[in-house]
Structure 1
């Protein structure tokens, strides 16, 4: 089972510590839709065993599914997330692993199948679906037909590949139609993305599912948001010595303004609550005033129309960004760009800050005004946790230039920032490494081993060095930084990223490796030598153009050995 676990999406289950605390419905809210979901589980019969829960970002779909998963409890759940849980290729292995943990007959079946054919863990999604779902539940008859197995796939639109999303839906809907006696009950949760909506609009799929739509402007959603706002603002009032004895805060007019702006959008309401109660400001009255000013000003006409469903949320997000002082904005922008791209792939906050050259003080100052939208690790957790967005609506906002005016090309700006950081780190390691005893070298992922040993990395500057609070030593941190930088250069050069197609990158790749592996971009380097970089090599005297008739063909026939010098 340990090896099986490695082929799953870690942290995707509803009770995973990676999701703690998970999104959860406020007490007394979303009762109607939760009840409808529970009724569907107990009463669904025949073909119709799939429930599509659909609604815009920020409406509270994941919170509803969390309650359903806890009260059922769900037999298996996959909660996709913008914060790293997006590997669609492991969906069915994740479901199978969770089922195997709960049910001994299924666990024996899985062990036997993997022992017989370990390659099943790497097979196509249709092959895995047949092996992990169809065979055990329909052909092997491992369970009582009257038993119900609840499977939740939340945030389907978050996984990386749209084709794969539709492939999931096709496999599940075909399964429901072909096997009406199946004990499986499926919840598919997503935003109303066109490619998903068009799938469910197909008449051939209609018999397999019911639709549970969560609308921003529904009476149920608006009433639930108002209940949430009243309760949370009351908590803020009781926690503030200056407000505790005030009879009416906020006033009914002020509350109505906020509730009207929020409508049924929980993402807006929760952002407002975090903003007003932000402990870094410690001034709920002033923060409430700023929220009301933003509402009174209305959404900017050049950001999103007043009838846009996210208009009020956009205005609030704009207000938060504008609150960042100009002298902190450069570093805040760097951290936002990195967070939009999974924190450079790191699970810690301190490592990317060192990659960017940010000290502890600079990093925490940069995010001091972003606590309403970012989950910031505590100082003693920075080696284990990274920045996380509270809700996907904010990265959606930043990525949409028409709404945020943040960046005309977020990806390109990030790639430029990343390249600057990687080249800065590599340049701090001495070039003359041939005289150093490298031993086995420094492992660089799939690309081979680098020249040198930990002693040559001492010149890599640490903007946020270690102390007694951190488990990662400075030597280990430098090793991670250099390894990540050289890995990045290899990967991006192979991908022909424009920020790496230069002589500096060529030089580092051809001089820093002790033992290149088969994945090392040797042929990309050869091609650029005679193509993109040919003028530079001719100018350096490394290449010389000669007439074909002067070549000694006998001399170049036979084996050609490639050496990096």
Structure 2
């Protein structure tokens, strides 16, 4: 949602800029009469302020005092670095929830749909759409007299279906295209039911999005707006630059003589020539020179002295030539003595960024990375201080957890990992960062026991994140992959898994469980190109499996009142599902689980019933994991009950 805490403070257009674009969107939407084409697609390359436009439109619409209804029906801001917002899983549910707030008369119908069938929240998105949006609207009867609401969907290209990513780049690209087209089809279906809704979609002009928008099914219902062709982009950048330089100048005036002008018209014009119509370039330069620890005048002069020719049309350039040159200059500003540390920290940020659970708590995140990599406390963030224009170094007051935890804009992260971009004395190897983090996590796990209190943040992070880091680590690219395998073999994983269940987050445990009893598609053997002793790999896999079995026996033997906590139930359900559905599951593990369930049933009928109901709820979810046979676990529960009775 555009006003959620996750996006605070929300990106907005600089005052007095993008006015033509905002006016065009408002004119399309109208108020009294719905537009002829109820879908508008606004597109532009990265860094052209699409999200700021979306946020500004939302804010302006909702601030209208001359209306007796809220013109903004719902918003959804996709963002590739947020696990909550980089897949369509919550798309329909989020829209439906917001409709209950913006259109109060819909609330009882949507609530009734959920109460009638709670499993609708786990159904396919197409089913959710009908049950939670279309049918509730139809239940209101005459919709012709209802004010039409605007639904804003920003960053469609950021919808990457991260929970289903393939390790193969080609497959990942195909998944990304498929899921974005799926969202477009959901919007088209809603439109086909003639509901009082208009859709504003903002995205990069990805070829598959453009092709689908221009297809026969979309073309006659969609108005297209190219941000680069509307308004005075050069004038917007000039206003932003002059305003921001004036703001910085206010802090410099007491330090300057009366005869010294800041920044000087020649410098302003030079800056504007280099920025062209590229607002991201201008904003990055402003952040770079707005540094209380350095001389803004000198920093700006260093940028402007670059001999790079920025007169080329970079707006539609996929390489962002002048922006990348700016990034190179910023990297050069890092003192040589700190460069090795800077490279190491950048590798770790890129390795940990998307899955980092301390998103927004920037200082805590850097402290964790320092601990895991063996650096002195605070050294990592100090090494990156010259990069404050592109790396988020501020504390919790500046947090935007939905954004990248570390990078102001995804283009810098993409620049660092683009092997075709020559960097000044900098070679970034994300796999090295992953390997260091994994070594640090395994070292932190080595001291964990079942009964210990896990308080240190870097240990909590390791418990939750090591399986995901392990999955991204390409072992065949590591000089000595056996060291991590040996470290994992020496770790008390039973204690680690129990600590996950006891309250330190079960996502890591669930990552280990997924496919654990499959002979090859499990967390240990997925990369069979690894030239490591097969016996060692088999030993580690056996260790992980036996540790998981021991963890579940331990959990099932806990006090029944504690066991009633639903935190354990999803993990236990998935565990039972995996060992039951795998043709290769260990008979002993299965027998132990069944015996423990019998003991639970005999001890307390109510708790067993709760678990049985939860399994029933998750059958559809589990069906998608192992070829649609989730009923087998339910059958197992019935057999256990019959045996005891």
Which whole-Å deviations, capped at 9, do the CAs of 1:462-482 have from their partners, x for residues lacking one?
Answer: xxxxxxxxxxx54xx364145
Paired residue for 2:77?
A: 79
Equivalent-residue separation in structure 2 for 1:52 and 1:307 (angstroms): 20
Aligned length: 486
Q: Map 1:143-162 to 2 at 5 A.
A: 145-160=145-160, 161-162=176-177
Equivalent-residue separation in structure 1 for 2:227 and 2:153 (angstroms): 16
Contact 1:237-1:244 within 8 A present in 2 as well: no
Relative distance call for 1:416 and 1:273 in structure 2 (3 A) is same
Residue of structure 1 aligned with 2:460, choices 480, 488, 494? 480
Equivalent-residue separation in structure 2 for 1:293 and 1:318 (angstroms): 13
Which whole-Å deviations, capped at 9, do the CAs of 1:430-464 have from their partners, x for residues lacking one?
Answer: 8xxxxxxxxxxxxxxxxxxxx53226x7xxxxxxx
Whose helix fraction is larger, Structure 1's or Structure 2's? 2
Equivalent-residue separation in structure 2 for 1:327 and 1:17 (angstroms): 39
Paired residue for 2:357?
A: 346
Paired residue for 1:395?
A: 413
Relative distance call for 1:57 and 1:491 in structure 2 (3 A) is closer
Contact 1:397-1:404 within 8 A present in 2 as well: no
Residue of structure 1 aligned with 2:30, choices 39, 42, 58? 42
Residue of structure 2 aligned with 1:260, choices 245, 267, 273? 273
Contact 1:343-1:352 within 8 A present in 2 as well: no
Relative distance call for 1:207 and 1:413 in structure 2 (3 A) is farther
* Residue 27 in structure 1 maps to residue 38 in structure 2: no
Residue of structure 2 aligned with 1:507, choices 476, 489, 494? 489
Deviation at 1:524, TM superposition (A): 4.9
Relative distance call for 1:107 and 1:536 in structure 2 (3 A) is closer
Paired residue for 2:387?
A: 370
Paired residue for 1:412?
A: 431
Q: Map 1:83-482 to 2 at 5 A.
A: 83-84=81-82, 85-141=85-141, 145-160=145-160, 161-176=176-191, 178-179=192-193, 181-215=194-228, 220-240=232-252, 241-243=254-256, 245=258, 248-281=261-294, 283-294=295-306, 296-298=307-309, 310-340=320-350, 341-342=352-353, 344-347=355-358, 348=361, 349=365, 350-378=367-395, 387-403=405-421, 405=423, 411-426=430-445, 428-429=446-447, 451-454=449-452, 474=456, 477=457, 479-482=459-462
Contact 2:151-2:198 within 8 A present in 1 as well: yes
Where 1:187 maps in the other structure, the secondary structure is strand
Contact 1:373-1:391 within 8 A present in 2 as well: yes
Which whole-Å deviations, capped at 9, do the CAs of 1:156-180 have from their partners, x for residues lacking one?
Answer: 111113311111112212432x23x
Contact 2:28-2:35 within 8 A present in 1 as well: no
Where 2:387 maps in the other structure, the secondary structure is coil
Deviation at 1:316, TM superposition (A): 0.7
Query: What runs of 5+ residues in structure 1 fail to find an aligned partner?
Result: 1-12, 431-450, 458-472, 543-558
Which whole-Å deviations, capped at 9, do the CAs of 1:38-61 have from their partners, x for residues lacking one?
Answer: 111116646610110100111111
Deviation at 1:339, TM superposition (A): 3.2
Which whole-Å deviations, capped at 9, do the CAs of 1:72-103 have from their partners, x for residues lacking one?
Answer: 12221112224413132111111112222333
Equivalent-residue separation in structure 2 for 1:534 and 1:324 (angstroms): 44
Deviation at 1:143, TM superposition (A): 5.6
Q: State the TM-score, normalizing by the size of structure 1.
A: 0.75
Equivalent-residue separation in structure 1 for 2:451 and 2:438 (angstroms): 24
Relative distance call for 1:267 and 1:106 in structure 2 (3 A) is same
Contact 2:43-2:205 within 8 A present in 1 as well: yes
The Cα RMSD (Å) is: 4.0
Equivalent-residue separation in structure 2 for 1:485 and 1:168 (angstroms): 29
Contact 2:348-2:430 within 8 A present in 1 as well: no
Residue of structure 2 aligned with 1:52, choices 31, 41, 48? 41
Relative distance call for 1:387 and 1:404 in structure 2 (3 A) is farther
Paired residue for 2:504?
A: none
Contact 1:320-1:370 within 8 A present in 2 as well: yes
Which whole-Å deviations, capped at 9, do the CAs of 1:4-47 have from their partners, x for residues lacking one?
Answer: xxxxxxxxx11122222222111111111101111111166466
Deviation at 1:121, TM superposition (A): 1.1
Deviation at 1:342, TM superposition (A): 2.3
Q: Map 1:551-562 to 2 at 5 A.
A: 561=588
Where 1:402 maps in the other structure, the secondary structure is coil
Which whole-Å deviations, capped at 9, do the CAs of 1:201-253 have from their partners, x for residues lacking one?
Answer: 213311111011111x8761111101110111111111112348456432322
Residue of structure 1 aligned with 2:54, choices 65, 88, 103? 65
Which whole-Å deviations, capped at 9, do the CAs of 1:384-414 have from their partners, x for residues lacking one?
Answer: 9984322222223223222354988855344
Contact 1:503-1:533 within 8 A present in 2 as well: no
Deviation at 1:490, TM superposition (A): 7.3
Contact 1:377-1:387 within 8 A present in 2 as well: no
Relative distance call for 1:86 and 1:236 in structure 2 (3 A) is same
Equivalent-residue separation in structure 2 for 1:538 and 1:313 (angstroms): 48
Contact 1:218-1:264 within 8 A present in 2 as well: no
Query: What runs of 5+ residues in structure 2 fail to find an aligned partner?
Result: 63-71, 161-175, 499-508, 543-585, 593-645
Contact 1:425-1:485 within 8 A present in 2 as well: no
Deviation at 1:491, TM superposition (A): 5.6
